[in-house]
Chains A and B, each alone.
Chain A
Amino acid sequence: MHPLEGFPLSETLVLPRSFGTMYLGETFSAHLCLCNESPSVVRDISVQVVMQTSTQQLQLFSDSSKHLASGQPLNIQVAHEIKELGAHVLGCSVHYLSAQGERRVLQKSFKFQVANPLVVKTKVNHLGRDVLLEVQVHNATQGTMALERLRFEASSPFTAEDLNTAADGAALWDSSAGFMQAGDVRQYLYRLRTHIDPEQVTVDQERAVQYATALGKLDILWRGSFGSFGRLQTSQLLRKSPGMFLLEIESAEVLGKTAALEEPFVVRALVRNVSERRMAVSATVHAHTHPMVISCGAAQ
């Protein structure tokens, strides 16, 4: 016996032993077979296949005015991209006219649950005007998956820089990085920037950046057993906006190279009013925090 003949993965395709678990973002496929097992023709058959979730009912297949001869089957294939969590019911109802001319109904249903395949957590840090976004992705399924694509699409006013590269520029998490086993966690890092020139930024632009809470969305594509794939897009990833002070100190400097003891020196500070109203501004040196500095008033 060749050693490969005992290997768990053989060349023989075997149909699944059980339905397993359905995950959000995957495509539910079903084959329905309607067979006339009576000895006579069944007429006026109309078939409806629907998918019922907690929020809606979607028609997947509808056909009518069919006849089936004795022993004749009708094969129906339906597919539905799963977009909701929780209980789903695939319902099939068949209306037909029996050989005795009676209107009859046959109904069958198949119930299944949809679970979340990935758990996404984020952490936001601020670096000046930029945002560092850490994303943690956890494989919450019971199987192994190949994460084919994980892309962050930034929302205005941000653009995103992907920091998930090694020192030589190669992507850390490309397709050759292996699989995510059940329970595995991967971490990603993005730097979000605005393309506003800080020298020419207007108050309105500054306000738009500082008060923006929506950072962007993740677009994730994964593959499971024998190429089955799923796709999810997260809702907007949010941050707590840093907000703004009414006055922003844009710069502060001491004029001249040195400040001599017991001789006045000049401090110049550039203050911007980023609020929406006029303000009277005064500058004070607090004696208790700087007891060795005495304010002489505004420079001429």
Chain B
Amino acid sequence: MLPLNDRRLFQPTPLADALAALADQHGGRGRAAPDAREFAGRPHSYELLNQYAAGQQWRALALAAEATIQATPIQSASDEAAVLRLWTYRALALVRLAHAAAAARELQAVEAATRGTSVYARFRARAPTVVWPFELRVLRAQLPGLAHGDWRRTCERVCALLRACERRAGDANAQRRFRLQMLLAGAVLRLRDAALAAALLARLDAADDPRVLSACARLHLQLGSLPHAELLFRRVEARVPADDKLLLMNRAMYAVAAGKWAVARDLFARVASDPLGEPHVAAANNAAVCELFLGSPQRMLAQLQLLMADSPTAAGSAAELVFNYCTALDLLHDGPALLAEKSRKIADVATWAGDGFDTSAFKMQ
């Protein structure tokens, strides 16, 4: 049985980045791959690991976590717990680099290694994951879906975690339960069982939370059930102030579903233009999308460009916005002009986006 910090538990860390490669091809400058030798052989502080995570430097995080795990001696139960916490960083980095399969293989090996730990022996755990940090258990539960599209298996694992949560009381546990319930609804949605996902959302512990009600209503809109969505939106309206952004967003979404694009655009623009609040990237994006349906892809493009320039990290590197932007480019340009515009956008995004950016957003066929 291998110790939790054994180097044989690790898969090779992927250092190639699709966005960096694309930027290099199109005259931009992609973020250089971190040098593995700079990370190896020494531990890295949690502050640095968190910094890498906040900056979406997933390759650096994967290398730093690996090095820190290997450099951490295991002499006590608290050392084991600390190393398991580091494994959370490692698995998260691999998932964000779109290498969920590698993360799954590593955690499988860690699972086997956990059986040899003193913590496991002390708690006489029925399953190795019981002694893992909650975040690591949540990641493990999501991996079958993320790595192999096996969302059914993800549902089973999330349900097992839910059953464990339900045996405990307390606020922290209530928050965990809510998070797991949302994960379960999301996994069911990926299994294309919309009716079950809607039923799960309705039964959530926080089912009266305006944000949950709004999410459930959006699900109904997505599936064409406008009357039911309206009922849920009205329940939200009874719980929030009249000028609340959530309320305005809901009305705008309903207007989109009803085909009232001008109404939707004005509502989204109202949310996006609030000078006192933080930039509402989703609202600004949605207002721009409405312009396309109102007959002006040019206005859509201009608004998205402005949004991405004003908020380069939040909007400029958001794959959905980049996709919408490139769709407008496809409509307005052709041939070399289109390629030139997209190359400019790739260089722009490469400046701000972290590792693991979904390059299919550029629609480079």
Interface residues of chain A, those whose CB is within 8 Å of chain B, are 2-4, 6-15, 17, 31, 33, 35, 37, 73, 75, 77, 144-146, 148, 175-176, 178-179, 181-182, 222-229
Contacts and interface: CB of A to CB of B under 8 A. Distances in A.
B228 interface: yes
A12 B272 CA distance: 12
Nearest to B334: A37
B347 interface: no
B215 A7 contact: yes
Interface in B203-241: 211-212, 215, 218-219, 221-228
Given A4-B215, A7-B182, A181-B193, A75 B224 contact: no
Contact of A6 (B182, B224, B298, B323): B182
Contact of B324 (A4, A9, A15, A35): A15
Interface string B161-199: 000000000000000001100110110011011110010
Closest 3 CB pairs of A and B: A223-B224, A227-B257, A146-B224
A259 B320 CA distance: 90
A13 B285 contact: yes
Contact of B296 (A14, A37, A75, A226): A75
A12 B337 CA distance: 28
A186 to B, nearest CB: 13
Given A12-B285, A73-B298, A179-B223, 10 more contacts: A3-B183, A13-B286, A31-B295, A31-B331, A146-B223, A176-B228, A179-B194, A182-B192, A224-B224, A227-B221
A275 B282 CA distance: 75
Contact of B222 (A4, A9, A182): A9
Contacts of A178: 195, 198, 225
A227 B218 contact: no
Interface string B291-307: 01001111000000000
A15 B323 contact: yes
B180 to A, nearest CB: 8
A9 B198 CA distance: 12
B195 A225 contact: no
Nearest to B206: A3
A14 B194 CA distance: 19
A12 B194 CA distance: 19
B256 interface: yes
A71 to B, nearest CB: 10
15 contacts: A3-B178, A3-B183, A9-B219, A11-B286, A12-B281, A15-B323, A75-B295, A77-B295, A144-B194, A146-B226, A176-B228, A178-B195, A179-B195, A224-B224, A227-B257
A11 B327 CA distance: 19
B249 interface: yes
B21 to A, nearest CB: 22
B292 A226 contact: no
A3 B177 CA distance: 10
Contacts of B257: 226-227
Contacts of B225: 146, 175, 178-179, 223
Contacts of A35: 332-333
A11 B227 contact: no
A7 B321 CA distance: 17
A227 to B, nearest CB: 3
B285 A175 contact: no
A146 B225 CA distance: 6
B33 interface: no
Contacts of A227: 221, 224, 226, 256-259
B253 interface: yes
Contacts of A145: 223-224
Contacts of A9: 189, 215, 218-219, 222
Nearest to B180: A3
Contacts of B297: 31, 33, 75
B289 interface: yes
A179 B197 CA distance: 11
Contacts of A73: 298, 332
Given A4-B182, A7-B186, A227-B258, A33 B224 contact: no
A95 B198 CA distance: 52
Given A31-B295, A175-B228, A179-B194, A10 B282 contact: yes
Contacts of A17: 323
A13 B289 contact: yes
A225 B229 CA distance: 13
A113 to B, nearest CB: 21
Given A144-B192, A144-B194, A227-B256, A12 B223 contact: no
Interface in B96-112: none
A215 to B, nearest CB: 29
A3 B228 contact: no
Nearest to B327: A15
B253 A11 contact: yes
A21 to B, nearest CB: 15
A79 to B, nearest CB: 11
B337 A37 contact: yes
Contacts of B289: 13, 15
A66 B143 CA distance: 57
A8 B189 contact: yes
B224 A144 contact: yes
B38 to A, nearest CB: 29
A225 B222 contact: yes
Nearest to A29: B293
B332 A33 contact: yes
A246 to B, nearest CB: 54
A286 to B, nearest CB: 61
Contacts of A77: 295
Contacts of B189: 8-9
B234 to A, nearest CB: 15
A181 B258 CA distance: 21
B224 A3 contact: no
Contacts of A31: 292, 295, 297, 331
A35 B321 CA distance: 23
Nearest to A229: B224
Nearest to B280: A11
